[in-house]
Amino acid sequence: MVLGAALGHFAPESGTLMQPLGDAFVNLVRMIIGPVIFCTVVHGIASMNDMKRVGRVALKALIYFEAITLLALLFALVAVNLWQPGAGMNVDANALDATAVRGYAESAQGRTLGQYLLNIIPRTFTSAFVEGDVLQVLFVSVLFGFALALMGDRSKPVLDLIGNLTSVFFRIVGFIMWAAPLGAFGAIAYTVGRFGASSLISLGALIVEFYVVCLLFVFVVLGAIARWCGISMFRLLYYIKDELLIVAATTSSETVLPRLVQKLQALGCEESVVGLVIPTGYSFNLDGTCLYLATVAVFLAQATNTPLDLSQQLVIVAVCLLTSKGAAGVAGAAFVVLTATLSSVGTVPVASVALVLGIHRLLAEALTFVNVVGNCIATIVVAKWDNALDQKKLEAAIGRHSAPAKSRKRA
């Protein structure tokens, strides 16, 4: 990442040419996501032999997701009103060039809640894997797992096969992760070379405010939840440091999904819980995306001198609570969802999103970081809530009162 940033800064043209390295790594990981989710979810559900428990885990996860994403939206709303990064910019929305965001606006149109729910059902069983939609893969995996569990002893050969396939696919993940340094180099070189220091200077107040809000949310809000679970946030971040660096470079949380599944199981979370919570969380528990949506929506209102009273801001929060759920399944992710949110609310000029188009990738580095940490915490919370957590293994790895004192004495 340091080498990539240096190349992008001192040789911007060469830095932008490194984009294929980052894209290739992202595509390699996306290639394996479908099979990893399918094998993990199917093996977890079929091994559980308790369909009521599967439903209970899913319900607990959704309750947690809704609570924490609402908290993220309100947290960002308070912060952006106190900081006011857009105050004094006095931008005339009518003078902005909206052509650059027209494609995003078109992608955002017509995405109703009904259409989003229908999109969870794939056209065919295999098309879920072809199109790479995480929720579609999860949908067919749950159906397959339920069917397998209800077959009783006859399912054992298939279950053994899926267990062996899981080991094969995780071995492939290990091969792909050898390319992570190249992917990180190419992605960060492109970002710095393409957007450069000028992007950091222009709209700098928003960038600084958003990064501070993300850090505060992780260490204050998620940190408090981590303490309730008996774990150290700092030790958790150290445990997933490689994944966080990859996410920071690629600005894509998908690139670490298979690795998170492995690492959370190693922490003592049951396979069935990890298999349900992580893929679902990638669509329903996007804490960083919620921080982004609330922050940028109010920032644009401040920058364009659009008056927003408390009731109007709460309407934006309510709309974001719905639109954020589709962020993982939309091309262009959070930026498209932001455009859809402003189009739905109608109070902030949609054309104003052109202001943040140039720095979106820089903001995405922070929001994807929060998304990954949030989903790790969510998995641990749901596992603890459902008594599906090996507390000793968890505390040994990332516990607040971990053992290393004895280990040091032995050493």
- For residue 333, the model assigns a pLDDT of 63
Q: Is the predicted pLDDT of residue 195 greater than 90, yes or no?
A: no
DSSP secondary structure letter of residue 286: -
For residue 219, which amino acid is it?
F
- For residue 410, the model assigns a pLDDT of 41
> Which residue's entry shows tokens 């794939």?
122
> pLDDT, tens digit, for every residue of 144-183?
888 888 887 888 888 889 888 888 887 887 888 788 788 8
Flag the least confident range among 43-52, 75-84, 159-168, 268-277.
43-52
Of 185-194, 220-229, 397-406, the range with the highest mean pLDDT is 220-229
- For residue 11, the model assigns a pLDDT of 87
Q: Is the predicted pLDDT of residue 216 greater than 90, yes or no?
A: yes
- For residue 329, the model assigns a pLDDT of 43
Instruction: Parse the chain into domains and list their residue ranges.
Output: 2-404
Flag the least confident range among 293-302, 334-343, 367-376.
334-343
**Nearest residue to 254 via CA among 63, 59, 37, 15:** 37
> pLDDT, tens digit, for every residue of 78-87?
999 998 888 8
What's the whole-number mean pLDDT along residues 191-220? 79
Q: pLDDT grade, residue 221 (50/70/90)? A: very high
Neighbours of 127 (CB within 10 A): 12
User: Which CATH number is associated with domain 2-404?
Assistant: 1.10.3860.10
- For residue 407, the model assigns a pLDDT of 39
> pLDDT, tens digit, for every residue of 112-148?
556 666 777 888 888 878 876 767 887 888 888 888 8
> Which residues fall within 8 angstroms of residue 17, CB to CB, at 6 or more apart?
none
Q: Is the predicted pLDDT of residue 72 greater than 90, yes or no?
A: yes
Provide DSSP, 304-322. TT----HHHHHHHHHHHHH
Enumerate helices (H) and strands (E) in the chain, giving the number of each.
Answer: 23, 0
- For residue 213, the model assigns a pLDDT of 95
Using a pLDDT cut of 90, give the percent of the chain over it.
17
- For residue 217, the model assigns a pLDDT of 96
The structure tokens listed for 156 are 């054992």
Q: pLDDT grade, residue 97 (50/70/90)? A: low
> pLDDT, tens digit, for every residue of 240-263?
998 898 888 777 777 788 889 889
CA 141 to chain centre: 20
Angle at 233 between CA 278 and CA 369, to 5 degrees: 50
Q: How far apart are CA 284 and CA 379, in angstroms?
A: 13
Of 125-134, 206-215, 241-250, 301-310, the range with the highest mean pLDDT is 206-215
> pLDDT, tens digit, for every residue of 359-411?
777 788 888 899 999 999 999 999 999 888 888 888 888 877 554 434 334 43
- For residue 404, the model assigns a pLDDT of 43
What's the whole-number mean pLDDT along residues 16-42? 81
Q: SS3 sequence, 210-250?
A: HHHHHHHHHHHHHHHHHHHCCECHHHHHHHCHHHHHHHHHH
- For residue 81, the model assigns a pLDDT of 92
Q: Is the predicted pLDDT of residue 228 greater than 60, yes or no?
A: yes
- What is the largest distance, in Å, between two alpha-carbon atoms of the chain? 70
CA 9 to chain centre: 28
> Which residue's entry shows tokens 């990638």?
282
Query: How high is the mean pLDDT of the chain?
Result: 80
What's the whole-number mean pLDDT along residues 185-201? 69
CA 184 to chain centre: 18
